[in-house]
Structure 1
Amino acid sequence: MKIAVIGTGYVGLVSGTCFAETGNTVTCVDIDHVKIDRLTHGEITIYEPGLEKMFLKNLRDGRLKFTTDLKKGIEGAQIVFLALPTPPGEDGSADLKYVLGVADKLGQILEDYKVIVDKSTVPVGTADKVKDAIAKHSKVEFDVVSNPEFLREGVAVEDFMKPDRVVIGSSSDRAKKVMGDLYAPFVRQGNPVIYMDEKSAELTKYAANSFLATKISFMNEIAQLCERLGADVDMVRRGIGSDDRIGKRFLFPGIGYGGSCFPKDVQALIKSSEEVKYDFQILKSVEKVNENQKTHLIPKIQSHFNYDLKGKHFALWGLAFKPNTDDIREAPALYIIESLIKLGATISAYDPEAMNNVKGQLGDIIQYAINPYEALKGADALIIATEWSEFRTPDFDQIEGQLKNKVIFDGRNLYSKEVFKNSNLIYYSIGR
């Protein structure tokens, strides 16, 4: 098939590359001339394991192309994906100006039947708005489909190539057939393609992410309770995770969730609920718990240093909101940095991929180390904010030798408490 993908952000670039990998010809469109030039010349603009090799192969073979010209980009395409930003507004609602702006332009240039696909995470009713925006100008037939993405940063290529399920929201048999043919190579092992109406598909994405966010916040509340009762959250997690009605995933306590999806989608679903006069109390609590959890380590740090952090210097391992990505949106590390600086501390940070993004946002208010151990030089304590694999088995003797106060504050429970039984290192974790 010939496919157009409008937007070359995280979802657009992953989707376009993976569609090209199965033999489709894909043209990705973006208004950012600099980004399009970089991509055209083989420079990938996001970090995602496994993506660059696939991107370069399909670019070389001519199946993956880039342009800033919308009309040229959709020419001959059977399917046009809208993979555009839907940032949260001040009230938490998803801002649809980019999606509807492109829809309006599409209506003016469509020359033959196309399936227009909402790939972005959008509020319920967006497919109808996109349809109206196109129909206002278009004189040709088209269908609008909701096809939400379920990609996890860090394993997005695997998620796309081997999806747990594909959700297609459409009331058109013609569009369903086109979409079914497109996704057939991705579900050969029998994972379902689930057809439903557009509004149900739109809500499915919000419901999925909000439920996972709820699991995380629930376990963080259990961790808070464990700290007060003297229980061990790891034991509790194993005890409930073995129940197949609950499952083992998303039960790890820590310093909260971040990224581009969970915070935004929880906010948007709360706002959508308010618009139909429903008080979604659980999600409001999920959001509040997560906001508090991001700085859960700060009181521990203050208490250890007798509530005086002026002049203290901290090593911080991890800046991305999760491992295997350079995404720092809503990253707990940023909240920790802000809190410590306000309290008079200084910070030297290390992250395998996210330091350039943090430097672009925060500048030189913190120091940036070239490796984890350089960050320890002159530090009073080590704080761990992201569970990168390279932090899981460090040289504890070297850590102990370099830290002034021999203390670790672990926001991701990377280490067993047993490791520190015969050590001079003091170890604080979450819920243990």
Structure 2
Amino acid sequence: MIESIILLLSTLFCNGVSCYIGYQLLGTFTFCSKLWNWVILISGALFLAFGWYFLFNMTAYSQISLLSLWIFPFVISKNSRKVAFVVYPFIYFASSMLSSIGTFIAMVIGHSNFDEVISNFWQMLFVLLFQLIIMFVFFIVKKLIARDAYIILTVRQIVIFYTVIFCSVALLSIIVALEGIVSNELGMNMLLVFASIACASLLFLAVYQAYLNTNQKLLREKNQLQADFQKMQQMYYETILKQNEDIRKFKHDINGHLQTIRYLNMEENVQDLEEYLQKIEQQTSIDLQTRYTGNKMIDILLVDLCNQANLNGIEVHVDGYLPNQLAIEEFDLTTVCFNLFKNALEATSQVTEKHKRYIDIFIDYVDLSHLVLEVKNGISQKVVIEGNHVRTTKEDVRNHGIGLRNVISTVEKYDGYLNLDSTETEFIAKVFL
């Protein structure tokens, strides 16, 4: 009885840790930081596990664990909780595949069959320990090699995951069913080991393929960002050329205008003088505000932002100074500013109240190696922020948020700081690189 309870708790613990690592490996989910959520999870999982064990006399610990840990997604932030529930069976079965390998290895070592292994206390502890060690190895490898890597979970990707799981489980089930028919026990056990390793490799390839697909999508996003920025550069230089041309024309006619102004002043014709000055102002229309911060890259983005904001009746205020020579790479600087400016413009464009249609930008630097950026914009309602992620209201939930992820990734690259905050009327993004 005591050994059974120890095995039940060990299986629950092992699979719970494996699920946690599995969600971490996908890199898409943010866990709740409140201790209370974890207390509820552990208590609920224990309650369900002992309920299945005592009330329904279930002795299949792996199945008990599967049915008890389905509440695991409740410790994941709300903005990705639904997807966490969808992929929970995949994460559970993928990690359990490792325990299958351990089980078949134990069968080979102990010259025993499947039923003998799962009923043996020490062999089952070996199986659980094997699963846990392999999951930790995967976790450490990801932290060392691809710490910031994550997977965008589309419907197509989830279908691929479950197809691989179905094929793997079907293959192992067929081989296990043949165990009682084949007379060569050692050969059969070796076949089970190699088949389970092949299935685990297939699962690994499915996850790796998901990483590759995500990287391709992010690469397309970066290429699109680069293309947009090149268009902004062209518009920026065209604006400068137009202003230079306007200034040149104005300089050419300045003597004539001065003579007319001097004459009207001598005649003390105040009304005609005022009308003439207004006419000069209307005809020249020279906008000298193409230099916002002094940094060419950021000013290009700000020119585009201000042009789009003016078309939408949004007022933009820019304050601060930024030199051209910074320790921060130009592409990373563009990624952070472009996405924050774009998000601010999108959010403010949805505001109907005129006094809330504004964007305030402050930018500064510290010893040429650190950047301080603050972007404030009006909003129609308070934004829900969970774990420094914005809960989107867009229909395209899967694709939305990639820009913010790029910002977070860039901030982490420089060991910087990002803080998102919201009041009832204003959204604030602060970045320190």
Normalising by the residue count of structure 1, what TM-score does the alignment of the two structures yield? Answer: 0.28
Structure with the largest fraction of strand: 1
Normalising by the residue count of structure 2, what TM-score does the alignment of the two structures yield? Answer: 0.28
Structure with the largest fraction of helix: 2
